Every structure is written in C-alpha cells, then in structure tokens.
Structure 1
Amino acid sequence: MDFKELISIARQAAIKAGEAIIEIYESGDFSIEAKSDDSPLTLADKASHNVIVSYLEKTDLPILSEEGSAVPYVERKNWDYFWLIDPLDGTKEFIKKNGEFTVNIALVHETKVIAGVVYTPVLEDEYWAIKGEGAFKNGEQIRVNSFKLSDDNLKVVASRSHLNGDTQQFMDGLSNPEVVSKGSSLKLLMVAEGDADLYPRYAPTMEWDTAAAQIVVEEAGGTVNQKDTTDSVVYNKENLLNPYFLVSGKI
C-alpha cells in the first residue's frame, strides 16, 4: 500500500472538489439553510462528492461519504482500507459565506485514520498528513503547542454563544482560558498548527467530520481522545456518530 501515492490522489481530488464548490459558491447570493434538492449548498455537496469519487475510485478502495449511499455495517465491518470523506464540511459557514468550510478526505485502516487531507476552497489552504510522516500546511510542517493544563490563558476552541454544561465544566477547570472560534474541521486544525491549545467537542459529530483532521492533529504531535479517556477516537463503528472528544496539543 503506497500511502504517499494514495494521499497524492486525495490531494488532487480535494483541490478539484474545491474548485467545483467555488463555482457554485460564487454563482450568486443565497441564504438557504435547509438541504433542499436545488439549494446551492446541496448542489455544492453533490458536485464535490462526485469529483472526489471520480478520483478515489481509481484506487479500488471502498468509499464512505456523507453524500454517498449508506453502506450497511455488515458489509463495511470487513473493510481493510477505505476512504472516509466529507465533501463539504461547514454548512453554516458556507451559507454565511465566511470561507470557513472544508473538503475532508481520510484514509482509514480498519478503525484508525492513517492519512488525510483537508482543503479550504476559499482560503486555498491545504493540510495533509500520513502516519509517521508528519503534518503539513501548504508544504510547511506544522506542530501543536506544548503546555500544562495549569497554564494561564490557554486558547480553547469553543462557541461563545453555545457553551453546554460539559464544555463549561471543562472551561471552569482552566485558568483564565481565552476562547477562540472557527468553523468546520478547521477547529481541529487550529490545534494542529498551534493557533489553539485545546478543543473540547462535547457535542455530536459524525465520523466524516473529524477523520481527516484527526490524523493531521496526531501527526502534528497532538491527540484526539474520547472524553475523559486516553483512547483515540476510532472509525468505522456500527454507529457512525462520534463520541464526545477532546483535541489537545502536547501536554
């Protein structure tokens, strides 16, 4: 299995998918939150999905996509390697037209992510990682911050307006944390590149939302662990809903 060749294909796919999204994104003004069949958001989702699949199907590996057909667990539980993709992550950001949405492509081996690419179509930033090879943004290696949980003013990715009980409890255990925010899977990448120290995600997400960014965090020296454990978030579960998790730099 040539991971460098596979991630090269995935990187090409992500950039081309981003171009397809941008065509729709810049085609006019819109404010449609619902995924109706003819909304710009849905058109962009589908266009990105179709582009990505056209590239990845050349690898002869199975594909699990948010926008693809559901694959029964009885079938996918026997997969060795497979692609896990979110063709357009960041619905609210797309609608707000703030540019903070992403294309996410991960390569999973059984239950662990071993390579991934995240691309931002508006910002044209490209993040990627291969297990054991480091994490990169636009060709430059990135690293997480090192810190102690007792440090003052740690930067924590969280929603200022929607701090739920679990997240607030976590924040209360820190010393004067600074709240920072960002859309889509970019929240994990803020930790990966040292723009934030911690990201407690104590709210629902799906596997395709996090897989590609998780390997970038891990290869940058950080962790994506299930809440209150030292166990990494894993993939291809029967239920594709993620557990609550904490993204962290190097403690």
Structure 2
Amino acid sequence: MPDIDIQRLLELAKEVAVEAGRAVLTIYDNGEYNSYQKDDNSPVTSADYLANDIINERLKKATPDIPILSEETKHASLEERKKWPCYWLIDPIDGTQEFIARSGDFAVNVALIVNNEPAIGVIFWPTGQSLYYASKGNGAFKDCPDEHKQIRVRKLDDPHQSVVMIAISRRQSREKIMSRLSAKRVYQTLPLGSCSLKSCFIAEGKADVFMRIGITGEWDTGASQCIVTEAGGKILAANFEPLTYNQRHSLENPDFVVMGDQRVPWNDIVHYKKE
C-alpha cells in the first residue's frame, strides 16, 4: 500500500478539481462543445472528456501508485479493484445535463477512497466559484472569493417540528419525491442541479435533506459523503443502510438520502419505497 499523506493528497485533489473545473467553465462560457449519448442513454460531452483527461493526467503524474476509477474511463473488474487499498474516485462533471441546459449547476468531484471508505472529498462548483472539501476526521470547508470557512449542517430549532428544507432536482418529479416524505411535517423546496451540489448545500446549512431516486454511480457520492459526514450529516441508502464502495461488481448506487441535522428523526420522515 502506498504511503498516505492525507493533507498532501487533499491539496492535490483541490488543485486538480479547480484546474479541471476552470477548463470546463471556459467551454461552458463559449458554448463550443460536442454532446454524445452513452450506452445507458445518459449524456456526455467533450467537456466531460477534457476534464477527465486533465484529472487523470495530473493524478497519474503525482500519485502513480494510486489507481483511478472515473465515470468516463473503462472500469476495472471487481477482481482487480478488490486489490486496491486506496484509489481515486472521479466524476469529471457531475450534472452534465445541467451543463447542457446551462443552469450552471454542475461540479467536478474528486474523492480518495481508503479501505472502501471516502477519506477525501473535493467538489468544485465552477459557476459558483466555490470549492467544498473535507478529509476524514478534519472537518469540512468551503472556499470562495474573499471567504474561507468551516461548514456545518443546519441545526433546526425544533428537530421534531421545524420546517424542513428539501433540495430537489430540477430534472426529477417533485411529486415523486414528496410522495416519499411524511405528511406530518411542513416542507420548503430548493431546486438544484447536480447531486453533489445538493449535498454541499446540506453540508453548509442551506438545505436539510435530499433524496435521490434513480441511477447514480459511486463517483456521484464519494466526495459528497466525505464532505457531508465531516459537516455533521450523513449519506445513506434510502433504506437507511450504508452505501458501499468498491465491494460489488456493479458500481451503481441504490437510491440514497442525504441528511443534515442528525437530531431529526429522518427514519420517520423519509419513506423508502422499492421500485
């Protein structure tokens, strides 16, 4: 196993995410890119591929002994991946649909998984000029122009009665999400794009909960899980079981829920429905 200098690798991940994000932002601003459709019918663009190339090149050069698992490259088999004590987990652009739709709600995700758990999480939001990051046991932070701060989930005045702010995808049915929430609480909604940005908003106290229904990959949650956990929240499968990393042949996540204030009885609020 390679030596793990978490602070050095965190700084590397931050640099790489920002470099890739700025390159993506240039493409976003000039609108000159190509769009394609992957085998699973999800969109991908030349901006995704450029970000992927930048991240892979930088990480391979700086950490040649640490494998990389990215959404946009061929995935190693479980037999090979099981030999990895640690690896980089990358989503070059989380929110490709938002990139194409020009909502601005897309981000670059870089995580380091150590012993099957997120140990570093970095999320760069190019249009928001915001960098969210965390390392296990060291807290979660946000950097943006003229500001550097530690972030924490919002504490509700009354965990059992206060209005709950839900981050909801711009691309998913609001009714489908609301049908899985207890009618005994009052909710406000905050429409947002990418999974990782909704998680970051929960980590910094701008929302309280986010439920993701539908297909995602482990790269969609690795960086977010580290940041949310270090900010005092949790990410769990929608049946409240832990998410897993690098332990199954499939890299797809189950439906999952991101929760802020851990005093709130989320098990009573979020209703799991198996499709």
Do the two structures share a fold, i.e. TM-score over 0.5? Answer: yes
1:26 match: secondary structure: helix
Any stretches of 5+ residues in structure 2 without a counterpart? 264-275
Cα drift, residue 204 of structure 1:
2.2
Q: Which runs of 4+ in 1 moved over 4 A?
A: none
Cα drift, residue 150 of structure 1:
2.7
Output the CA distance in 1 between the equivalents of 2:8 and 2:213: 35
Cα drift, residue 169 of structure 1:
3.4
Output the CA distance in 1 between the equivalents of 2:191 and 2:93: 19
1:49 to 30, 52, 62: 52
Structure 2 match to 1:140: 149
Following superposition of structure 1 onto structure 2, how do residues 97-176 of structure 1 map, counting pairs within 5 Å?
Answer: 97-138=102-143, 139-147=148-156, 150-159=160-169, 162-163=173-174, 165=176, 167-176=177-186
2:190 to 165, 180, 203: 180
What residue identity is the alignment partner of 2:243? V
Deviations 1:143-194 (A, max 9, x none): 00123553232101124760365x3333234411111121111011111010
Q: Does 1:24 align with 2:24?
A: no
What residue identity is the alignment partner of 2:57? S
Q: What is the count of residue pairs matched by the alignment?
A: 245
Q: Does 1:71 align with 2:76?
A: yes
Deviations 1:220-240 (A, max 9, x none): 0000012232x4322113211
Structure 2 match to 1:9: 12
Output the CA distance in 2 between the equivalents of 1:228 and 1:145: 23
What TM-score, normalized to structure 2?
0.83
CA RMSD across the alignment: 2.1
Cα drift, residue 76 of structure 1:
0.4
Q: Structure 1 residues 163 and 203 mapped into 2: Cα distance closer, same or farther (>3 Å)?
A: farther
Q: Is the 8 A contact 1:14 1:117 kept in 2?
A: yes
What TM-score, normalized to structure 1?
0.90
Identity of aligned residues (%): 38
Q: Does 1:196 align with 2:196?
A: no
Output the CA distance in 2 between the equivalents of 1:234 and 1:188: 17
Q: Is the 8 A contact 1:171 1:177 kept in 2?
A: no
1:171 match: secondary structure: coil
Structure 2 match to 1:221: 232
Q: Is the 8 A contact 1:41 1:94 kept in 2?
A: no
Output the CA distance in 2 between the equivalents of 1:196 and 1:108: 26
Q: Structure 1 residues 200 and 113 mapped into 2: Cα distance closer, same or farther (>3 Å)?
A: same
